[in-house]
Amino acid sequence: MTAQITERLVYKGQDLPLCTEPLECYFSAGRARPCFESDCTALWRGYVGRWEIAGDRLYLTALQGLLEDGSLASLGVLFPHSHGRVFAEWYSGTLRVPMGRQIEYVHMGYASRYEKDLFLKIDQGVLKSKWMQRNVPAPAGTFGRDATAAQGACAGFHR
């Protein structure tokens, strides 16, 4: 798999890359998934979500992509009654936010490594804890971290 285009997260006033896909938990809980068109190998999911943590709550603020019928994907397509942002109450898991310079490129998923990773533990859309991890380059000749582990995991759908 090709390295993927990251989601975006606004956290403490900074626009940061997000190496987790919280919206996938929404779809895996049985919610209708639009037919996204993927026009590049770096965006297999077919969309890019913009997220924000405000008041310790995770919100989806925008969605960009192309649908199979040629129309543009948007927040209103998934959440027609939204008014600017949607509280991500369906998401429980850990968000990975890479920070600093890239110290190792891995041509797969979100496995590339950066100087630091900020991890944000979310429970039913609410920030519960955070921690920073400093990273070192992998020894020469090794593949690096498991890409699926870096993507975070869904802890189930919660209403």
| Closest-CA residue to 157 (of 128, 123, 127, 120) | 123
The Cα–Cα gap between 37 and 45 comes to 8
Could you list the residue range(s) of the whole structural domain that residue 71 is in?
7-143
Q: What is the pLDDT of residue 142?
A: 59
Tell me, yes or no, whether 150 lies in a domain.
no
pLDDT digits 0-9 by tens, 52-90: 999 999 999 999 998 999 899 999 889 988 888 999 999
If you average pLDDT over every residue of the chain, what do you get? Answer: 84
Q: What is the pLDDT of residue 62?
A: 95
Percent of the chain predicted with pLDDT > 90: 49
Tell me, yes or no, whether 159 lies in a domain.
no
Decide if pLDDT at 158 tops 60.
no
**Are 1 and 44 contacting, i.e. CB atoms less than 8 angstroms apart?**
yes
Q: What is the mean pLDDT of residues 26-49?
A: 87
Only one residue has tokens 């590339």, namely 112
Decide if pLDDT at 154 tops 70.
no
Tell me, yes or no, whether 152 lies in a domain.
no
Q: Which two tokens stand for residue 86?
A: 């949607």
Instruction: Please provide the distance, in angstroms rounded to a whole number, between the alpha carbons at the two ends of the chain.
Output: 33
pTM, whole model, 2 decimals?
0.81
Q: Which two tokens stand for residue 107?
A: 């041509």
| Count of structural domains within the chain | 1
Tell me, yes or no, whether 138 lies in a domain.
yes
Percent of the chain predicted with pLDDT > 70: 85
Tell me, yes or no, whether 23 lies in a domain.
yes
Q: Which two tokens stand for residue 48?
A: 């890019």
CA 35 to chain centre: 19
pLDDT digits 0-9 by tens, 107-135: 766 777 879 999 999 999 999 999 999 98
| Closest-CA residue to 56 (of 19, 12, 15, 103) | 12
Report the helix count and the strand count for the chain, using DSSP H and E.
3, 10
Q: What is the pLDDT of residue 141?
A: 62
Q: What is the pLDDT of residue 143?
A: 54
Tell me, yes or no, whether 149 lies in a domain.
no
